[in-house]
Amino acid sequence: MDLLDVETWQGRIATGGWVSGEGEPLAVRESATGAQIGTLGTASVTQAAEAARRAARAQREWAEWSPSARAGVLRRAGELFETHEDEITPWLVRESGGTWAKAATEVRAAVGECHEASALPTHPQGDVLATNRDRWSLSRRVPAGVVSVIAPFNYPLTLGIRSVAPALAVGNAVLLKPDPRTSVGGGVAIQRVFEEAGLPAGVLQTLPGGADIGEVVVGAPEVRVISFTGSTAAGRKVGETAARHLKRAHLELGGNNAIIVLPGADVAPAAAAGAFGSFLHQGQICQAAGRHLVHEDQAEAYLAELARIASALRVGDPYREEGVQVGPIIDDRQLAGVAALVDQAVADGARVLAGGAAEGRFYQPTVLGGVTARMAVWTDEIFGPVAPVLTYRSLDEAVDLVNASEYGLSVAVLGDVGTGMTVADRVHSGVVHLNEQTVGDESMAPFGGMGASGTGSRFGGPEANFEAFTETQWVTARPTIETYALPSGGRPAR
């Protein structure tokens, strides 16, 4: 049987096995055409609540597995993602509208996340502490318990597995709620890989559904940590709910990321980097370059080269057409939002140098000149293939323009490295790339944003993963039982 055999998941959810979902059936659709290509079950509120209780029971046994045994499951999961790449990638292409190359990077990322996570069980788990008493004093990391992972549509596999894998590795159980638009590539695929890798039943459960299921996986008393990746607006609601329940919420949210092209930078490679940052996966990436800051002396040349690249990109259905570089927007609602931002910018005086229109679900790669810092296309996260370009006169002005945004996820600086280093010291951003574009992360590197881009939490690397998915416990030990006597009261008043 194939890993993603439809008969396994058709009309079902994964909670202690594949069972019929009691919620409304979820149509699995192609982003490019809207055609239905399958049907998933969705969880009812009752099923989701029971899943949380089941996870708590399963977690206790999973945490007792030896570190090497848990590591083995993670290693096998990585191998299975690699083995089944050709089966997983078509689902990622069809559901998310990404290109085949983009889907392949997601699978490779899943392999890397599992292999990196496999090292966590045998990583040092704490510290020996100094103490003023006749005893040993130490701190150690213990599993948080049940972790809920809520993943988005844009990179459904990558952004789900980067929390699922390390959370499992350090001994937690996980409730995974994938985005309803990408629940096969970002949900079923992860569930099936770990089942085949030997993860015990109940330790990972996948619960497709809507906002009602999101409320359960955040609010269930058994859940101690929530890992959410998505929009800033949705993240605020998750954070508010988690705070009411006194739970930790790791929020990786939106971004309006800037590329700064320094004076004297080579325009051709700079524009190529800018195009990659703005148009990769139709701009539907939290790290996408939504703002291009170019010194006034080079702005004309940069705009011309960026527009040339944008106009030459091949737009289409990547599942059915060869050579596609820019696929569809995920759905009509998102498409309308992108078009509205561009149309308003044009009405406010921006110039369309490339693109600026849609055909079906496909929005043309768009370059805008004549942009001002007051336009919504500059201040808001676009989440579409649009590159607004603004000129600056001084480095101070460029830094101020970057820092004026409420977001602080990723900044790219192109040109002189020494100058770029001084910019890195001054910008409010969780990620700074010198002579690279804005999009990029690795499983061993801490990733996250500042301001409206998140709560300062980080994903990636041992330190960040232990901080995210464990609790710290203080332990002391003496050779014999301490002798205790309650102190006498103070001197009586006279």
Enumerate the active-site residues.
Answer: 252, 286
For 396, the enclosing helix (H) or strand (E) is: helix 395-403
Q: What letters, b where the CB count within 10 A reaches 16 and e where it falls short, cover 411-423?
A: bbbbbbeebbeeb
Is 399:249 a contact under the CB 8 Å cutoff? no
Give 97's DSSP letter.
-
Q: Could you give phi then psi for residue 94, rounded to 5 degrees? A: -75, -45
Please name the residues in contact with 388: beta carbons below 8 A apart, sequence gap of 6 or more: 290, 291, 292, 345, 350, 368, 371, 375, 377, 378
Q: Which amino acid is at 402?
A: V
Structure tokens, 307? 């527009």
Structure tokens, 206? 């996948």
164 vs 186: CA distance, rounded Å:
11
Structure tokens, 277? 């940052």
Paired strand residues for 142: 471
48 vs 75: CA distance, rounded Å:
29
378 vs 371: CA distance, rounded Å:
7
Q: Which amino acid is at 475?
A: V
Structure tokens, 390? 């603004």
Strand 146-150 relative to strand 173-177: parallel, antiparallel, unpaired?
A: parallel
Q: Which amino acid is at 306?
A: L
- Look at the block and give the residue holding tokens 């695929």: 189
For 206, the enclosing helix (H) or strand (E) is: strand 204-206
Is 203:51 a contact under the CB 8 Å cutoff? no
Give 489's DSSP letter.
P
Paired strand residues for 362: 359
CA 192 centroid distance within chain:
21
471 vs 266: CA distance, rounded Å:
48
Paired strand residues for 472: 141
- Residue 424 burial (CB < 10 Å; 0-12/13-18/19+)? middle
Paired strand residues for 352: 368
390 vs 369: CA distance, rounded Å:
7
**What is residue 445's three-state secondary structure?**
coil
Query: Helix, strand, coil shares of the chain as percentages rounded to 5?
Result: 40, 20, 35
